[in-house]
A and B are shown apart, each in its own frame.
Chain A
């Protein structure tokens, strides 16, 4: 477990290095992008100096990384502190992902088990998994907002007010995220379930007239399912970028798109690192859960 923790920390360090130094090594220049093609070389140089970009990359990485350790995410190219820009938006995105995950857990377990024996369900999940998430979201807009007019196509949530105060604006984004997460979760759970259904001990139980679902199938599927749920929870926050963009939902998606278009690296770097860190944490928790849910591993230590 200690090794696992150390590996997680090492991966986070590698990630922060790649995110900062690796990106610097790319041939593009975000400052030029931001100032536009009309900027004079003097203006670009001045902007670089103002942002401190003329100092060696490793020095800046050191400052950035030590800032991160003390909770300082740095300053955006616009001069505002990144943490201030992120605060509400990360919360809003996490809310969307949280609601989706709450619905996803029971649904994916049920449909995943069903997909192990019903081809229709597994084929449906395969098709669902093939369609990019923003296409699903746009499809939901076309069907539910434009054709049926049940829900608003755009999540108009005034700045400062909680999305929870506008439940109807949440329905379509949640539905889209749910579809995205379900496709993957169903496939993983059903593949675990069909493996255990083909195993000799399930055959042995059936041949002796013993029911298998609660005692053999669900316990075997659960460790895999918990892992999928944890990973999906995090990836819905990050992967929701496109869905948020479709609905104009005030989460990290919108902020990211604006930052990318304006070449505002510090904001993007901070978000990548936060979500990467969350994913590594989720994987660690999944490992602990698997250890706890598998008798052979639980009794080993």
Chain B
């Protein structure tokens, strides 16, 4: 499954290899593919391939940042609930969890329509699930006999958290981070699709722009659709694999 990591790294590096600009027209609108333009041009005559290559990096980086922020926030809350047994700490995240992620995204972007807002929105949408996963894993670990015995012999918080609990929760949190990355990709691409994009060659934006002209030049639509699908499916398969492996770790 290393190829998934290679794919993600590749998407970050690729803009440097784009043959043309992402914003300047290089041919007639809706040109069909040629050797020079393997996927043809879009409605303004821009090179579809170059726009794809430019759009991968912001999609991946924004999703990574949002997933990391969401997992950190969620894991902190989940851990706090498991350790203090105060379910009320979870209420704000439970309330957010009731709202479909797309709407959390839209609400935050209405108030804060920039890249920070996008990262924040996606992080907030992902935090409730991360919190629940962490809480469940941590609650199980906290009840284990070796943790109780460590408490009984008077270990301090740093040891309990850092040596007894986190090493056994970490795998689950990491596996969950993979899942959060997948849903972050969904949401970031969706923001682009809704015209709330953060770059001018966002894959979601490419899709919505190509939609009206699809009968004339289907490649301009098909390529970004396949791009999003490929990234989402492969990172989901990867996350699923990681999750399966981490489940076998508590022995």
Chain A residues at the B interface, C-beta cutoff of 8 Å? 10-12, 14-15, 18-19, 23-24, 26-28, 30, 33, 126-127, 129-135, 138-139, 141-142, 146, 153, 234-235, 238-239, 241-242, 245-246, 256-257, 259-261, 263-265, 268-269, 271-272, 275-277, 279-280, 283
Contacting residues, chain B, for A138 (C-beta < 8 A): 207, 211, 221, 225
Contacting residues, chain B, for A142 (C-beta < 8 A): 214, 218, 221-222, 225
A133 to B204, alpha carbons, bound, how many Å? 12
A265 to B106, alpha carbons, bound, how many Å? 10
A-B pairs, 9 with minimum CB distance: A238-B100, A28-B112, A130-B236, A15-B95, A279-B98, A130-B233, A132-B186, A14-B95, A276-B98
Contacting residues, chain A, for B23 (C-beta < 8 A): none
Residue in A closest to B182 when the chains form the complex, CB atoms: A130
Contacting residues, chain A, for B96 (C-beta < 8 A): 15, 18
Q: Which of B92, B99, B240 lies in contact with A126, CB distance below 8 A?
A: B240
Given contacts A130-B182, A238-B103, contact A260 B189 (CB under 8 A): no
Q: B108 on the interface (CB 8 Å rule)?
A: yes
Q: Check A261 against B195 for contact (C-beta < 8 Å).
A: yes
**Min CB–CB distance A39 → chain B (angstroms):** 15
Q: Check A131 against B232 for contact (C-beta < 8 Å).
A: yes
A239 to B102, alpha carbons, bound, how many Å? 6
Q: Check A263 against B107 for contact (C-beta < 8 Å).
A: no
Known: A18-B92, A239-B100. 5 other contacts (CB 8 A): A130-B235, A142-B225, A146-B214, A239-B101, A256-B106
A200 to B142, alpha carbons, bound, how many Å? 28
**Min CB–CB distance B90 → chain A (angstroms):** 10
Residue in B closest to A231 when the chains form the complex, CB atoms: B98
Chain B residues at the A interface, C-beta cutoff of 8 Å? 91-92, 94-96, 98-104, 106-114, 117, 120, 182, 185-186, 189-190, 193-196, 204, 207-208, 211, 214-215, 218, 221-222, 225, 228-229, 232-233, 235-237, 240
A127 to B238, alpha carbons, bound, how many Å? 12
A153 to B210, alpha carbons, bound, how many Å? 13
Contacting residues, chain B, for A241 (C-beta < 8 A): 100, 102-103, 106, 194
Residue in A closest to B207 when the chains form the complex, CB atoms: A138
A271 to B99, alpha carbons, bound, how many Å? 10
A283 to B233, alpha carbons, bound, how many Å? 29
Contacting residues, chain B, for A263 (C-beta < 8 A): 110, 113
A136 to B171, alpha carbons, bound, how many Å? 32
Given contacts A139-B225, A142-B218, A261-B195, contact A127 B233 (CB under 8 A): yes
